[in-house]
A and B are shown apart, each in its own frame.
Chain A
């Protein structure tokens, strides 16, 4: 879902992503 992808890229989402996903997975996602 586009809105979901857009939210993931916002600073608002960052602390949730860092908490929820292993560091390697998150780094892989951010490098895409």
Chain B
């Protein structure tokens, strides 16, 4: 009996041991598989060990994170631009690029400022004569355009070739134009023998100063002084056959300049001339009457109408 009992006990022990061994093997295999999958470099560690996946990475970044960077152009490459046309005075003049320009702290230059068409044409050919409405240049003139015109003005000597530049600068230029015009009137052409055309147009520098006098007090004050016949008596002037008539025309155009200024003090100045005690104002009174008329004309009709009306007047 004890022999049979021992046999059953040994069989049971062997079975238990076998079961433990198999279990140990299974546990070891399971751990090994898990460890192997977890350490594969291309595998998502958070993915389940068996079946399915964590799915593709999200295309849109979570809120609060910066968007993915866009590819940058290769270093050293720049956007292609059209070749810039060159102005006749040697300055590079290019058109504004299409699209929105980026802000820059650089000072404006002729190469980046779009020039009004009239300015461009005058720079290309100072002898160009515009039609009536071609003459209009928006004020204020861009600083770079004004600088180019002043440079061009100084580079040429003929009054007839300077004239269109003067017209634009006087009409739309900054106060820096006032000393330029003053110099032209009082010094620049002194002693030159004028042609008939120049003799007719030189006095018109004074009524062109009137356009500046609209905006700049210094121009107005110059014109007030130039309305005195004595202002011209001892001054070196261009030479014309009839100097007496020429000086009277200078005074007349200075009066017209004050009228063009449209300033209320201009009318007060005219009234002051009229009310001077004997011997009174030494110029031609008819010129003052004309100026008063033009003053009221400008007040009523505006400068554009005046400009059209004055085209026949030297």
Contact = CB atoms under 8 A, between A and B. Distances in A.
A15 B288 CA distance: 12
B288 A7 contact: no
Interface string B254-278: 0000000000000000000010000
A21 B297 contact: no
Most chain A CB neighbours (cut-off 10 Å) among B286, B289, B296 = B289
B285 A15 contact: no
- Interface of chain B, main secondary structure: helix
A7 B296 contact: yes
B285 A19 contact: yes
A27 to B, nearest CB: 16
Contacts of B297: 3, 7
Contact of B274 (A1, A3, A15, A21): A15
Interface string B271-314: 00010000000000110110011001100000000000100000
Contacts of A13: 289, 292-293
Contacts, number: 26
Contacts of A7: 293, 296-297
B289 A12 contact: no
Contacts of A17: 289
A29 to B, nearest CB: 12
A20 B296 contact: no
Contacts of B309: 1, 3
- Interface footprint category on B: 10 to 19
**Secondary structure class of chain A's binding surface, majority of residues:** helix
Contacts of B289: 13, 16-17, 20
B44 to A, nearest CB: 92
Contact of B285 (A1, A8, A20): A20
A20 B288 contact: yes
A15 B285 CA distance: 12
A13 to B, nearest CB: 7
Interface of B: 274, 285-286, 288-289, 292-293, 296-297, 309
Given A13-B293, A19-B274, A20-B285, 20 more contacts: A1-B309, A3-B297, A3-B309, A4-B293, A7-B296, A7-B297, A8-B293, A12-B296, A13-B289, A13-B292, A15-B274, A16-B274, A16-B292, A17-B289, A19-B285, A20-B286, A20-B288, A20-B289, A21-B285, A21-B286
17 contacts: A3-B309, A4-B293, A7-B296, A7-B297, A8-B293, A13-B289, A13-B293, A15-B274, A16-B288, A16-B289, A16-B292, A17-B289, A19-B274, A20-B285, A20-B289, A21-B285, A21-B286
The 6 closest A-B pairs by CB, nearest first: A20-B285, A20-B289, A16-B289, A19-B274, A7-B293, A16-B292
